[in-house]
């Protein structure tokens, strides 16, 4: 884990590339980070009350452009170098972004100093200076599905995430992420996801809305005091004695964004139950006791029943554009816990359904 860095809004912690789900065709990163005070886990979530968008049309969301006041900034401490101008230094630091794009960002006030004041492209390059910049992906693909806010209070926000929508910015996705959408909708730059879901997984994501109480809710995931429930559609397993518990050791695989089982002490545990055993595709309830990356997907594939439409397991399929008609059949269906502030039981449930 890399060290924590100053940010304009929220808390940004750079993390290793392998900590994020990245499609192999997404190319390189400007910056690798997640919005939380510590490394997040792969967990789920469930809710009381529901609030829908007043205008849920995807084209309504597509028109929103994060502005410096509401967008999420990354921070760079200018490294040693002998460039004359800030523009020259940024072009050298991020060679994947051409000079014209950097000039456009300067023109729109998307490059700020430590006091959040816009910088000019011809500013002298000063080693050690703090520069805040806003990640942008030109031609970023739109995700034609809308999240639903199921619960909101001063401390917590629970959202139902559609398939294909990333939780936090990474790779080719910056604006089209659950975090960016919610920051814009709620006007709260302090929102931080308390856990992750893979981009292909639908379901519930829990956000901290107040940095003062964030640690109490992060402890729920760290100490595994949350009951988590997923639902999946996968091939029938009549030969297996179900329910069963899968225990194994998960380690980084090849390429870097995949996981695999290995010899050694188990660090991933999943309980598997059957919800519907009709036909060649069964519906399963999955209960992870741990939160390893891609845990449910790897465990189901290892049992001989890879989750339907999984492009990573048991084997990696060639890169291709998202096919919105064939989402991964995995849903973060439920979450229950005792609220660390009030001591009251809380239970949330996804409103989404798998289509089989």
Return the ∠ at Cα 167 (arms to 341 and 308), rounded to 5°: 115
**335/291 Cα distance (integer angstroms):** 13
Instruction: Classify residue 110 by its DSSP letter.
Output: -
Q: How distant, in Å, are the alpha carbons of 34, 101, 172 from that of 21? A: 11, 26, 12
> Do 204 and 348 meet the contact criterion of CB atoms below 8 Å apart?
yes
CB atoms within 10 A of CB 177: 23
Identical topology for domains 41-65+139-222 and 227-349: yes
Kindly list the domain boundaries of the chain, sorted by start residue.
41-65+139-222, 73-134, 227-349
**12/78 Cα distance (integer angstroms):** 17
CA-nearest of 285, 281, 247 to 263 is 247
Determine whether domain 41-65+139-222 maps to CATH 3.30.70.3270. Answer: no
User: How high is the pLDDT of residue 5?
Assistant: 28
User: How high is the pLDDT of residue 48?
Assistant: 29
User: How high is the pLDDT of residue 99?
Assistant: 94
The dihedrals phi and psi of 18, each to the nearest 5 degrees, come to -65, -15
User: How high is the pLDDT of residue 215?
Assistant: 98
**217/158 Cα distance (integer angstroms):** 13
Q: Which CATH superfamily hosts domain 73-134?
A: RNA-binding S4 domain (3.10.290.10)
Helices (H), 31-98: 58-62, 86-93
User: How high is the pLDDT of residue 71?
Assistant: 54
**197/180 Cα distance (integer angstroms):** 15
User: How high is the pLDDT of residue 72?
Assistant: 64
**266/261 Cα distance (integer angstroms):** 9
Judge if the upstream peptide bond of residue 243 is cis by omega within 30 degrees of 0.
yes
What is the pLDDT tens value at each position of the chain, 356 positions in all?
A: 222 222 222 323 232 222 233 332 222 222 333 232 223 333 333 232 333 333 333 333 333 333 333 356 788 999 999 999 999 999 999 998 889 989 999 999 999 999 999 999 999 999 999 999 887 776 788 899 999 999 999 999 999 999 999 999 877 777 899 999 999 999 999 999 999 999 999 999 999 999 999 999 999 999 999 999 999 999 999 999 999 999 999 999 999 999 999 999 999 999 999 999 989 999 999 999 999 999 999 999 999 999 999 999 999 999 999 999 999 999 999 999 999 999 999 999 999 999 97
CA-nearest of 238, 218, 234 to 226 is 218
CATH architecture assignment, domain 227-349 = 2-Layer Sandwich (3.30)
User: How high is the pLDDT of residue 3?
Assistant: 29
Return the ∠ at Cα 207 (arms to 308 and 56), rounded to 5°: 70
> Do 91 and 125 meet the contact criterion of CB atoms below 8 Å apart?
no
User: Residue 204 in 3-state DSSP?
Assistant: strand
User: How high is the pLDDT of residue 74?
Assistant: 82
């Amino acid at each position: 884990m890399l060290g924590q860095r100053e940010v304009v809004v929220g808390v940004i912690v750079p993390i290793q590339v392998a900590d994020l789900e990245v499609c192999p065709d997404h190319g390189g990163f400007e910056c690798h980070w997640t919005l939380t005070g510590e490394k997040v886990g792969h967990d789920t979530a469930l809710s009381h009350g529901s609030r829908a968008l007043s205008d849920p049309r995807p084209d309504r969301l597509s028109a929103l452009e994060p502005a410096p006041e509401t967008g999420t900034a990354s921070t760079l401490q200018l490294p040693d170098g002998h460039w004359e101008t800030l523009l020259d230094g940024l072009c050298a630091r991020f060679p994947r972004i051409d000079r014209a794009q950097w000039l456009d960002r300067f023109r729109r006030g998307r490059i700020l100093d430590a006091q959040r004041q816009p910088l000019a492209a011809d500013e002298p390059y000063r080693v050690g200076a703090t520069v805040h910049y806003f990640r942008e992906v030109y031609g970023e693909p739109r995700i034609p599905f809308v999240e639903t806010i199921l619960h909101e209070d001063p401390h917590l926000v629970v959202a139902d995430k559609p398939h294909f929508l990333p939780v936090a910015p990474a790779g080719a996705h910056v604006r089209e992420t659950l975090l960016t959408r919610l920051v814009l909708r709620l006007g709260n730059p302090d929102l931080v996801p308390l856990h992750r879901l893979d981009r292909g997984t639908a379901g519930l994501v829990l956000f901290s809305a107040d940095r003062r109480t964030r640690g109490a809710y992060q402890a729920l995931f760290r100490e595994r005091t949350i009951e988590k429930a997923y639902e999946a559609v996968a091939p029938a397993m009549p030969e297996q004695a179900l329910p069963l518990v899968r225990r194994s050791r998960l380690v980084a695989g090849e390429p870097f964004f995949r996981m695999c089982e290995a010899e050694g002490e188990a660090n991933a545990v999943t309980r598997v139950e059957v919800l519907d055993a009709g036909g060649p595709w069964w519906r399963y309830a999955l209960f992870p006791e741990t939160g390893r990356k891609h845990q449910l997907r790897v465990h189901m594939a290892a049992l001989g029943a890879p989750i339907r439409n999984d492009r990573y397991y048991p084997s990696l399929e060639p890169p291709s554009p998202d096919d919105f008609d064939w989402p991964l059949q995995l849903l973060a269906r439920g979450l229950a816990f005792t609220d660390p502030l009030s001591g009251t039981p809380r239970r949330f449930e996804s409103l989404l359904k798998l289509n089989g």
